[in-house]
Structure 1
């Protein structure tokens, strides 16, 4: 690709650049795809959850021994795992973003050089071609039919023609023509800093899922305060054993905190980033992982997605001798040839046709809105190359021939002469001269990828600027349903509701204008769909930006890459199933572990309420004090084998179900009955064991076995669908707890002992009733409602 040079100006010299660098007049608005190390450490060390657990651990250590503070190990786990995974994600993001970053071209010492945008200095002459993103602000000093898309700045979809003296602003994109502008406002003075930051910043908590989890935690916090107060008052009523009461109170408060939920959410997101990075997929925003799981409609641009980059000229069907010379002259006059013109140029060169040297008066660059490009020559008139159905009348024999070729899956361009033509007024007085027939290269993996999405319930919409016949032919080769009913987008209604209805009932769309792609996205979203959009060109920017998930090709324009949340760096369409599967894995597993953590929170709150109310009633009645059934060491053991260890493995397991709305409702429908099924039998068997008499360690062990067994049953329900490793995981957790009870040295350490016959029988009855309640409310009842 050639780049424009400024006639009569050699740009800044090396000495002038050095002076500006020394003065700090450098564009220092660099991309930040991840948080700095200090921010990562700060975010993982200093959290409200860590602070609360740390205070409780300090209280337990003050009034008991060090064993009772083992629950605080979750702080170290939170810090270590969260920091390590985020640092790995940071390294992956930073490494991949370097590959994805587009250089700028500047004129210095009379030649055009490519540099990092951050190295642009004030007064640099920046050369721009179609697809370039404007990264600094300044006036145009040379324009060759330069057109800029300023839609991201003004909301206006139509390209704006720029003449020398006109301003260009960062955040806009070149859609046609070439030019040179002077860097006037750089760094913090330009729009670039803000826009680039927003387009590519590493985001951690801006997602529906994490918003829901934060809402959970806020709600739980309001519940913990009164329940903890009740428990404290009830336990401190025992003046004789007040130190043990304080430790028991800590044991009651600790399990109310879903300490690992935030950690595992961040870990799941970070691991998703790393896994996709290994597949050359750059996720520019962490919440995009969540969007991947929710997608139910995927809009595909045929060119560059279903087809590989580049094309091959099949033949040139000429109606005159001048056609090949004219095509060579058009190719020579194009400063920035697109893949189509490059294929034509290569074909002519291979067949010995050289540039005839025709003198150019005016070049009219290709525009996706016009569907043609052209050149006005001094002695050879005006020649245009573009879409046959735009340049030719419908009854022209050459137009009919073009339709038949397009129906075979070939791409066809018409070469014509025109009496009048302009970028604003269209063309008139057209005389057909030739048809250029090109064959697009279908991706070998496209058919299998489309079949995957069909199986997964993701609707496909193929949209293209090509003729409906050509798009339909490509779709037919890939066995896409509805390939025979291609819709001509030029005949689509403007009414959003009518458009949405057509989109629901059709799959293939041809002659789609850039602004229509955005309309398609909005219409589908209005129907309640979560829409992903793929694209690689400037004409895809608006749709990529407005879609729920923008997916750009790595070799596409900087414009497309900068607004997309996901960039396929290797341009491999077959990566998309892995991308979607990763999103589903993350969301499905976070919901799964949320069920576990909130079940623990519910049963902890319920137990604390039961004990608190019971203790106050007993105190008023003058009866014996009702202590909390566990100490912090017991809670550490129970949480480790029913939540901590299994949740970590479940958070990273494969999941294939598409994410659905109603996350909070579903989790609460599980956690509340599961938590009560754990708490009520545990409290009842605890009271029965106390009334039966015997050492306190017996009552604590009986309650512990009951709670552990029912919580393990809840874990088994959460682990569905079952696989061998999940069965082994649940069985191993149960065996580990039994091992602790059976080995005297471990049982002594955790202050437990094997119960006698009476306590064992009571525990088995309580366990059976709790598991029966779990099965009834979480397995049988949902199935009955589903029927």
Structure 2
């Protein structure tokens, strides 16, 4: 235990080091810069493909057919705006939730942002503090540091004066100070510490699913694209201008230009919405992760109850100055936890005894203490740990704890508190009764999780009876267990977790083991916590959720930080995740359906072209020019997809994203493609057809495509609400308007004047719509999903 007090830097010395660049210049957040956001949204593979096709179309002189080029502007502009908004929100929240080291300088000691630390600064440490730069310990009082984020070794390491500490580690017990020896990118563990402060979702089904879908699309595009390029340019004899336009008309709809964009927008808007609730999401897919959670492990203190405490009763077993002992213990604790802060507030000024040894509170031991020169050795902690659980005083503490109160034992010890076998024999002196207020929104939050079939496990270091009483008062059903009786074998531990709901006296290493045990049974686990004892479990859980008022170490490893400390924010995060997952699935159905029918149509026309070479039959021009596929996408995919990606959606998240999307989009795409090709074949007059007849054939094919594609939209939009019905109706009405206005028909190269062809096209489209409807109901049977036309209250 060192008593020297190191002097910090002067303002002039700080200014000199700043001028020399000896600052902690590691970025606060692992996020893309503005220029990187611009480049990432403008220079995309899809924009490049569309850009080349646009140049080809413009070379023909047909400006109206180049209208799809606006997709490049829309894709880039919307993506940039939403990502910049999300970045602004995240950066603001990150500053609020940032761990601020306590820096000692000659001008005073104050919390500073990590990037304001300079070389040779003196930084003070206490329990839960994260070490932000490398340094040498210059003061310590029972200082213990956890370096598990760097080394994987979970056991705390005692640090003496002269020992080195590394950035990314954190204090678990004691206090002290260290001098910064390496800052910024020179720090030994700067990159690791930065990595620990950001979130990488290893298992993002949504992201990996979309990648699989894009790979599938790429495999389809290559042969279909090559075939249509060959047939349109070398078999139709229609002139290079017409052939090029038809070729581009086939290629443009194959590109899923909005799928990745809509996914990014959905995530970005989710971050902005959660930011408005003071919820910091370290990386966008963390929203998806929490939506898939089926077990929430909640700490009691700071999660179900409020952080603040007050002393409600003192049961003294002796009249010997108990209040003085408590006041002195609280006074000697440099960084008191909530319990010691409440004791200090209750018992006022300390008598001024001289301490000879001290032992900080640790989650693993559940007690702290101080030895005094002329006043003995005093310990304070958990009664069932310091005493024989069968003793009368321990049983009294148990009875009080059964009311949901926290009980601490004050006792005298027969040996110094820093002795290797401390606390030794403890003589009970008093029971300190503390009360915490249950969060007013805790019950409502637990009820929400129960209604969503999400299991809640309360895991606390407090007395098991007390924890069980609090959980019971909140309506949480299930048995309570003292974690000291937990089996160590992973299989037996997993069985126990299935049986019990509430656990008390849980050590930090046990919290971590419990998370692993739940994951071994296929559960997706979220862990909430605010203390240094929660760090290991937070890091290993699928989703770690930290309270904003918690330790800097817990905030650093968590994927989501609730800056307003409200447990009740979690349902909104779950809801936002479900909105993102459900809506992206709908949007993916639309885009993949379009790609499937576009590729199929190209293949059928291409094969017909190859057949014409072999059998001497009339080759087929592709039915659509670029302007046709552009207007087809406006109201069957583009605008509806944008609305659906941002719409409310409270449906539970399910696994099997790729399977469900493929099962829906493939049959629908095949029906639309075959129906459109059939309609075109019936309307096509051969190579001798006039330009008017070719336009009428293209129009007939487009009518069939629009009718069947609109029904795909009608199916994807289910279950219906008034606005979903309005969305589908407005989309259909928009095409009625386009086909009704002469100027629009002329502009978009449409001719529905041949009544026979138009009626035939409508009938084929309606047959396709009927087949899509039947397939939707059959898919529900196969997937085991209840199909609903209208949204109900459940």
Q: Deviations over 1:177-218 (max 9, x none)?
A: 110111111111214531343234587999432222122222
Residues 386-397 of structure 1 correspond to what in structure 2 (within 5 A)?
386-397=381-392
Q: Deviations over 1:406-428 (max 9, x none)?
A: 11111101000011233753311
Partner of 2:791: none
Q: CA deviation at 1:312?
A: 1.5
CA RMSD across the alignment: 1.8
Greater displacement, 422-431 / 764-773: 422-431
Q: CA deviation at 1:345?
A: 1.2
- d(CA) in 2 for partners of 1:424, 1:307: 35
Q: Is the 8 A contact 1:304 1:536 kept in 2?
A: yes
Q: Deviations over 1:651-699 (max 9, x none)?
A: 0111122322211111110111000010111111110111597711211
Residue 647 of structure 2 aligns to a residue whose secondary structure is coil
Residue 550 of structure 1 aligns to a residue whose secondary structure is strand
Q: CA deviation at 1:363?
A: 1.4
- d(CA) in 2 for partners of 1:310, 1:8: 31
The change in CA–CA distance for 1:490 and 1:203 in structure 2 (over 3 A counts) is: closer
Partner of 2:464: 468
TM-score normalised by length of structure 2? 0.95
Out of 116, 122, 125, which is 2:122 matched to? 125
Out of 223, 232, 235, which is 2:229 matched to? 232
The change in CA–CA distance for 1:49 and 1:398 in structure 2 (over 3 A counts) is: same
Partner of 1:637: 631
Structure 1 residue 456 and structure 2 residue 452: aligned? yes
Partner of 1:553: 547
Partner of 1:375: 370
Partner of 1:717: 715
Partner of 1:286: 284
Pairs aligned (count): 778
Q: CA deviation at 1:242?
A: 2.7
The change in CA–CA distance for 1:512 and 1:424 in structure 2 (over 3 A counts) is: farther
Out of 689, 693, 696, which is 1:695 matched to? 693
- d(CA) in 1 for partners of 2:563, 2:340: 24
The change in CA–CA distance for 1:655 and 1:8 in structure 2 (over 3 A counts) is: closer
Partner of 1:508: 502
Residue 474 of structure 1 aligns to a residue whose secondary structure is helix
- d(CA) in 2 for partners of 1:608, 1:538: 60
Partner of 1:385: 380
Out of 159, 177, 181, which is 1:180 matched to? 177
Partner of 1:404: 399
- d(CA) in 2 for partners of 1:728, 1:162: 67
Partner of 1:109: 106
- d(CA) in 2 for partners of 1:751, 1:514: 70
- d(CA) in 2 for partners of 1:451, 1:469: 22
Residue 718 of structure 2 aligns to a residue whose secondary structure is coil
Partner of 2:561: 567
Q: Is the 8 A contact 1:50 1:75 kept in 2?
A: yes
Q: Is the 8 A contact 1:148 1:172 kept in 2?
A: yes
- d(CA) in 1 for partners of 2:364, 2:740: 77
Partner of 1:652: 646
Q: Is the 8 A contact 1:367 1:373 kept in 2?
A: yes
- d(CA) in 2 for partners of 1:210, 1:643: 21
Residue 118 of structure 2 aligns to a residue whose secondary structure is coil
- d(CA) in 1 for partners of 2:612, 2:733: 37
TM-score normalised by length of structure 1? 0.96
The change in CA–CA distance for 1:52 and 1:202 in structure 2 (over 3 A counts) is: farther
- d(CA) in 2 for partners of 1:43, 1:781: 37
Q: CA deviation at 1:44?
A: 0.5
Q: Is the 8 A contact 1:549 1:565 kept in 2?
A: yes
Q: Is the 8 A contact 2:149 2:196 kept in 1?
A: no
- d(CA) in 2 for partners of 1:575, 1:543: 20
Residue 183 of structure 1 aligns to a residue whose secondary structure is strand
Q: CA deviation at 1:768?
A: 2.7
Q: Deviations over 1:355-395 (max 9, x none)?
A: 11111001111111110010001111110000010011123
Q: Is the 8 A contact 1:133 1:171 kept in 2?
A: yes
The change in CA–CA distance for 1:110 and 1:419 in structure 2 (over 3 A counts) is: farther
Q: Deviations over 1:424-462 (max 9, x none)?
A: 533112100000011111000000000001111111111
Out of 434, 440, 446, which is 2:442 matched to? 446
Q: Is the 8 A contact 2:316 2:430 kept in 1?
A: yes
Partner of 1:265: 263
Q: Is the 8 A contact 1:5 1:112 kept in 2?
A: no
Residues 465-614 of structure 1 correspond to what in structure 2 (within 5 A)?
465-482=461-478, 485-614=479-608
Partner of 1:666: 660
Partner of 1:360: 355
Q: Is the 8 A contact 1:701 1:755 kept in 2?
A: no
Partner of 2:244: 246
Q: Is the 8 A contact 1:6 1:180 kept in 2?
A: no
Out of 43, 50, 53, which is 1:56 matched to? 53
- d(CA) in 2 for partners of 1:251, 1:26: 57
Residue 351 of structure 2 aligns to a residue whose secondary structure is coil
- d(CA) in 1 for partners of 2:329, 2:421: 20
Unaligned runs of 5+ residues in structure 1 are none
- d(CA) in 2 for partners of 1:460, 1:103: 32
Q: CA deviation at 1:609?
A: 0.5
Greater displacement, 195-204 / 643-652: 195-204
Greater displacement, 218-227 / 431-440: 218-227
Residue 179 of structure 1 aligns to a residue whose secondary structure is strand
Q: CA deviation at 1:240?
A: 4.0
Partner of 2:144: 147
Structure 1 residue 138 and structure 2 residue 132: aligned? no
Q: Is the 8 A contact 2:136 2:178 kept in 1?
A: yes
Partner of 1:171: 168
Greater displacement, 357-366 / 595-604: 357-366
